[in-house]
Structure 1
């Protein structure tokens, strides 16, 4: 390719051989074809790179780069720097896109002119012959396209918050805006790097537009990246929150201060759980006594642990089972059709 594509689809991968073909096929089958697909393989020990090379050999829009092996944020920055498109769309290596995902995002961009856009998301899981799904953002607030202001974005990004968290949505970025304002991923962060980048872009003036079409499919599986919050993780997020530039008073400043207090409460929560495990109940009570967030997070953790033991949590609803034994492209179509059916006919 010589001309810059309209959209760069950015994917980072590490030991993603099991699912990366489906992810890349969903990118290659987008109705908007003026794209490139940039895959950064960050030191995989399985055959991830070989899978990507097979796509490179058959589709000139696919590029394979080697990652820096310095953590997820550094890998994402590698993909951002390598992107040649006017816009960048995030796709994780185990997720898939609706065939019109980019088409709808770019239509929203034309209508609203926002520098950041994100569609609703479907969480799905394949278990044998069953496909289970859940709409990520549900309720009247999420049924229509609307801007998300920085105040709401911060408020909905609290640790232990209820309802949909926009920070989990996979955005489309105006790359010229990010580069002009020097906004990239904070390589000191091990978690929350997407939330942090989007918020700093918004604080620099970027407009965020939410679109209700559920066109990003987030896969849940036993190897999904997940881990308990560590002290180092939370301290990194707190340092980032303390550096956010905003007015010294007003609603946004109050929300940012509330986020700092929320992160401080999460740190106290970790200490409280450790005290409970050590049998130091008096210390646990003292740690949470003066901090509502610490107390709420601790009570929530204790409730969830008890609920799991006695089986209170209900399974995700079942949707349309995908077909088996199909070629990859056909199987992807079966999955997306099944997800669309589940979304339209809950």
Structure 2
């Protein structure tokens, strides 16, 4: 009997996919089903996936983003528990058995798993898990207010939206929930917003057994402003859909989140304009939202400091 389905949405992932699949196959204490959905890759991702016996591989005709690929995998999944694994990440062998055990102990419909940032060679980054016991404790039950409050795009608190989830499939099916395919990032977070609004019991697993690959960054690697706008639009649709059942505090938190997302979007637009030496665009953005200039200055200073630190300048 299959205990859990591991879903891997993959796009141009031939270089990293094998390690992810191997870690999925190595799960202990359960019998896993592994479904790879190739999001219309332009490389040999699907061919690489098909070299693993027993792994189910599907391929989208058009590139739809991770949400579309995961929705296809949800359609194909047969297990009661569904776990998300990115194509460049890996997972420790006991992760799913531990998360399922916690879900059964707490009656959870969703378990959010802690992770350790690692370099491509598997070395821990800064040697610590994403969440510490000072942030949240193991088995903590989250309300919608709690979850929105912990997804405010702030630098001083870890965002729970980064945690990779385990879903109870029967809950998703009963409530008709799936990923928002307009989103190219934040899709897990928004599905959990929906689940909480539908009454899901969501808990946190503090075991840092998901290995999140962090590749060397650069000042040139920025968030896509269009993707941020899609998040803002998705938040608006969520508020309109559930406005009669949301608390005043939840609505206030979403308003704060919108402000933070808008600030981020304007900052990314300004940085893009700086790179293109588009002075008129820069002035237009700063005039419309003056605090963007402060945010951009801080971001660029932090980016330069990180680059100097990597070079051991100080």
Decide: shared fold, TM above 0.5: yes
Aligned to 2:123: 131
Inter-partner Cα distance in structure 2 for 1:161 and 1:207: 27
Secondary structure in 1 matching 2:123: strand
- The Cα of 1:23 is off from its aligned counterpart by 1.3
**1:155-174 aligned within 5 A:** 155-174=149-168
Assess, with a 3 A threshold, how the Cα gap between structure 1 residues 139 and 279 changes in structure 2: closer, same or farther: farther
Pick from 182, 189, 192 the counterpart of residue 198 of structure 1. 192
What residue ranges of structure 2 are gaps of 5+ in the alignment?
A: none
Secondary structure in 2 matching 1:213: strand
Asked whether the equivalents of residues 15 and 46 of structure 1 are also in contact (C-alpha less than 8 Å), the reply is yes
Inter-partner Cα distance in structure 1 for 2:28 and 2:173: 27
- Residue 60 of structure 2 corresponds to residue 67 of structure 1: yes
- The Cα of 1:14 is off from its aligned counterpart by 2.1
Q: How many residues align?
A: 301
- The Cα of 1:29 is off from its aligned counterpart by 1.4
Assess, with a 3 A threshold, how the Cα gap between structure 1 residues 207 and 307 changes in structure 2: closer, same or farther: same
Aligned to 1:6: 3
- The Cα of 1:73 is off from its aligned counterpart by 1.5
Asked whether the equivalents of residues 137 and 204 of structure 2 are also in contact (C-alpha less than 8 Å), the reply is no
Secondary structure in 1 matching 2:8: strand
Deviation track 1:206-229 (CA, whole Å, cap 9, x = no partner) reads 121111111111122359xx9523
Assess, with a 3 A threshold, how the Cα gap between structure 1 residues 272 and 65 changes in structure 2: closer, same or farther: closer
Pick from 12, 17, 33 the counterpart of residue 15 of structure 1. 12
Asked whether the equivalents of residues 81 and 100 of structure 2 are also in contact (C-alpha less than 8 Å), the reply is no
Secondary structure in 1 matching 2:161: helix
Inter-partner Cα distance in structure 1 for 2:65 and 2:283: 39
What residue ranges of structure 1 are gaps of 5+ in the alignment?
A: 316-346
Aligned to 1:250: 248
Inter-partner Cα distance in structure 1 for 2:96 and 2:311: 34
Assess, with a 3 A threshold, how the Cα gap between structure 1 residues 84 and 151 changes in structure 2: closer, same or farther: same
Asked whether the equivalents of residues 117 and 171 of structure 1 are also in contact (C-alpha less than 8 Å), the reply is yes
RMSD value, Cα? 2.8
**1:41-60 aligned within 5 A:** 41-56=38-53, 60=54
- The Cα of 1:173 is off from its aligned counterpart by 0.3
- The Cα of 1:86 is off from its aligned counterpart by 0.8
- Residue 48 of structure 2 corresponds to residue 30 of structure 1: no
- The Cα of 1:278 is off from its aligned counterpart by 3.8
Q: Normalized against structure 1, the TM-score is what?
A: 0.77
Inter-partner Cα distance in structure 2 for 1:8 and 1:296: 45
Inter-partner Cα distance in structure 2 for 1:110 and 1:42: 33
Inter-partner Cα distance in structure 1 for 2:142 and 2:311: 31
Inter-partner Cα distance in structure 2 for 1:268 and 1:19: 33
Asked whether the equivalents of residues 99 and 113 of structure 2 are also in contact (C-alpha less than 8 Å), the reply is yes
Inter-partner Cα distance in structure 2 for 1:119 and 1:314: 33
Q: Normalized against structure 2, the TM-score is what?
A: 0.85
Secondary structure in 2 matching 1:81: helix
